[in-house]
Amino acid sequence: MNYATKFLSELTVSENVPPKILVVHRFTRPMLTNTTNIRLDPRVQIVINMDGWGPPSLKRESYKRYIHKYPIEYTGFKLFYKNDRKKGGVLMSPADVLALNPRPFYIQYQ
């Protein structure tokens, strides 16, 4: 993460471009370790995106355990049109997603 942040930060300076967004997809806790060592930079906004499919209850719990409990900078939430509906599941509504705590800053549909 720090390498990617540094790379993007240097890019904004060398190319004189606006700040960048680094989206990190996370669907298990071990996917991102040493979160306290991640360095923030105002030229790069870091979004930890709760990635993973399943029923709303599983997605809410994953968000709580992997994103809310270990925040970096901004939170994200991913919805899957097809995979979230497998086995009779339902796609979370926009209101359901916005009711999460903390409210996701970034919402992605696939």
Instruction: Supply 60's token pair.
Output: 């809410």
Three-point CA angle 28, 19, 17, nearest 5° = 135
69 pLDDT above the threshold of 90: no
For residues 31-53, average pLDDT? 92
For residues 40-48, average pLDDT? 97
Range of the domain at 72: 2-109
Number of domains, the chain: 1
Quick one: DSSP state of residue 100? Answer: S
pLDDT of residue 67: 85
- Tell me the whole-structure pTM to 2 decimals: 0.88
For residues 78-96, average pLDDT? 93
Contact 49/106 with Cβ under 8 angstroms? yes
Contact 63/69 with Cβ under 8 angstroms? no
Nearest to 38 by CA among 8, 4, 10: 4
Contact 72/35 with Cβ under 8 angstroms? yes
Phi, psi of 74, deg, nearest 5: -120, 150
Three-point CA angle 24, 27, 31, nearest 5° = 65
